[in-house]
Amino acid sequence: MFKNLIGGEWVEGARVSRNINPSDTRDVVGEFAQADAAQATQAIAAATQAQSAWGLSTPQQRFDILDAAGAEILARKAELGDLLAREEGKTLPEAIGEVVRAGNIFKFFAGEALRIGGEVVPSVRPGVGVEVTREPMGVVGLITPWNFPIAIPAWKIAPALACGNAVVIKPADLVPGSAWAIADILHRAGLPAGVLNLVMGRGSEVGQVLLNDKRVNAISFTGSVATGQRIAQACIARMAKFQLEMGGKNPMVVLDDADLDVAVSAALNSGFFSTGQRCTASSRLIVTEGIHDRFIAAMAEKMKALKVDDARKKGTDIGPVVDDKQLAQNLEYVAIAKAEGARLVAGGEAIDSNSDGAPGYYMRPALFAETTAPMRINREEVFGPVVSVIRAKNYEEALALANDTEFGLSAGIATTSLKYATHFKRHVQAGMVMVNLPTAGVDYHVPFGGRKGSSYGPREQGRYAAEFYTTVKTAYTAA
């Protein structure tokens, strides 16, 4: 049984939840304690008590703990990658890559703990000194989704601790194993009791307590738009600072002058890999007339070779969907697209079992052609391996279509034209832009986030993370 970490102690929950392997639903990854509202409140109390001492800890102390945690995560990448692939369903190479990312994030923020500085500014008044410094926010609540079970907890926990905050984290119910591993590693790395509290459990119960408790000074959330809106309302009602990373309907534009192989491989990767379960996945391919038919033919040909199988099997390109609900949602969107008049080019059907006959939540990636911007398939996030192609007359129309969405997380363009690449980087309404690269797959040391309906508040990751996890103080001293 994997327990919750509250005030430096491993404690049983009010209930137990079974973590199921989506590649083989007979396989139970482990039994995990589920906290209730009372335990979530205890975790907040423990964090509140630990906060002041941690806020005054030396940068060296924070560096040592974060650096040790990063080193252990990197050293255990094969084992933690296997756990991640088993609980979430991304392929083993993808899962190991995510673990390495998490390890590097801890190493990066270990260094950032040493670099938190301020400014000494000349005053406009004679005989006065001005200092601008950054202080911790206090207790922060972190709420994470299931699709990056280790990287997202890492990219919230590491900067929160580096900046001197105490943390209560509630990971997604479907994938508690990877977040539990981070809590265990940090606990053993010498983090003082109560500085990091792990409360696994339901969003509506444990998450809601974090939103409502006045002692939680800031909430960092990644997940769906619907939950994000609920979080925004709860935080505004009590004036808590918050940051939201939510959905996407990310466009990738393919121009006539694109290198066809580059465009197809970027579209396959960002549309279908990780089973399309990435907020940065390209789900809208906007393709200009001159290359449209060749592009679709090449995509269909390459899709035939994609192997959908057990996430941990060698040679698997696409693992299962995370659970039965998400699979049902994906298949519903396939049906919606067909009903709206889109042409199914390939895939879209569920597969009951893997190549060993084990039951799991598998589906063949789906590609739709002849879709138009108003269709639901082009407006709503599916969060599965379902991609649609929109035909565009020229670059200008393609750019307008790319921006015709409520979302604005990531956007890509495949082109050999410097003119169009430069224009697109400047004018696409997204937080991240990729030229001749998949829209998913980003570095760990630079800002991550979007605009419009995709994100709210300061960026995550890189040096910019400090904007959220610190508050600025301006001090005046008579000289």
- The minimum distance between CB 322 and ligand NAD, in angstroms, equals 8
Residue 240 or 291: which CB sits closer to ligand NAD?
Answer: 240
**Separation of alpha carbons 394 and 405, rounded Å:** 19
Residue 116 or 281: which CB sits closer to ligand NAD?
Answer: 281
Considering the rule CB under 6 A, would residue 88 count as an interface residue with ligand NAD? no
Considering the rule CB under 6 A, would residue 176 count as an interface residue with ligand NAD? no
Residue 164 or 177: which CB sits closer to ligand NAD?
Answer: 177
Binding-site member from 23, 51, 220, 227 for ligand NAD (CB under 6 A): 227
**Separation of alpha carbons 124 and 414, rounded Å:** 51
Which range in 88-96, 114-122, 125-133, 240-248 contacts ligand NAD by CB under 6 A?
Answer: 240-248
Residue 309 or 381: which CB sits closer to ligand NAD?
Answer: 381
Which range in 99-107, 114-122, 205-213, 397-405 contacts ligand NAD by CB under 6 A?
Answer: 205-213
322 touches 330 (CB < 8 A) = no
- The minimum distance between CB 96 and ligand NAD, in angstroms, equals 19
Nearest to 151 by CA among 289, 280, 8: 280
Binding-site member from 65, 68, 137, 211 for ligand NAD (CB under 6 A): 211
DSSP string, 138-205: -EEEEE--SSSTTHHHHHHHHHHHHTT-EEEEE--TT-HHHHHHHHHHHHHTTPPTTSEEE--S-III
Considering the rule CB under 6 A, would residue 230 count as an interface residue with ligand NAD? yes
Residue 62 or 156: which CB sits closer to ligand NAD?
Answer: 156
Report CA-CA distances (Å) from 445 to 49, 149, 219, 359.
Answer: 31, 19, 22, 39
Q: Which residue has the tokens 């005030």?
A: 7
Residue 50 or 440: which CB sits closer to ligand NAD?
Answer: 440
Residues of span 185-204 touching ligand NAD by CB under 6 A: 203-204
**Separation of alpha carbons 173 and 156, rounded Å:** 17
Considering the rule CB under 6 A, would residue 279 count as an interface residue with ligand NAD? yes
Mark whether 245 is an active-site residue: yes
How far is residue 292 CA from its own chain's centroid? 31
Residues of span 341-400 touching ligand NAD by CB under 6 A: 381, 383
Residue 227 or 405: which CB sits closer to ligand NAD?
Answer: 227
Which residue is catalytic, options 98, 112, 245, 381? 245
Residues of span 419-458 touching ligand NAD by CB under 6 A: 454
- The minimum distance between CB 222 and ligand NAD, in angstroms, equals 5
**Separation of alpha carbons 456 and 408, rounded Å:** 11
Write the CB contacts of 355 (distance below 8 Å, at least 6 apart in sequence). Answer: 309, 310, 313
227-247 burial: b if 16+ Cβ within 10 Å, else e: bbebbbebbeeeebbbbbbbb
Binding-site member from 143, 160, 185, 266 for ligand NAD (CB under 6 A): 143
Considering the rule CB under 6 A, would residue 141 count as an interface residue with ligand NAD? no
- The minimum distance between CB 478 and ligand NAD, in angstroms, equals 46
Residue 15 or 473: which CB sits closer to ligand NAD?
Answer: 15
Binding-site member from 224, 229, 372, 429 for ligand NAD (CB under 6 A): 224
Nearest to 185 by CA among 108, 75, 57, 88: 75
Considering the rule CB under 6 A, would residue 208 count as an interface residue with ligand NAD? yes
Considering the rule CB under 6 A, would residue 87 count as an interface residue with ligand NAD? no
**H/E run at residue 244:** strand 241-245
The one-letter code for the residue type at 32 is F
289 touches 256 (CB < 8 A) = yes
Phi, psi at 371, each rounded to 5°: -100, 160
Catalytically active residues, by annotation:
245
Q: Which residues of the chain form contacts with ligand NAD (CB under 6 A)?
A: 143-148, 170, 172-173, 203-204, 207-208, 211, 222-224, 227, 230, 245-248, 279, 381, 383, 409, 454
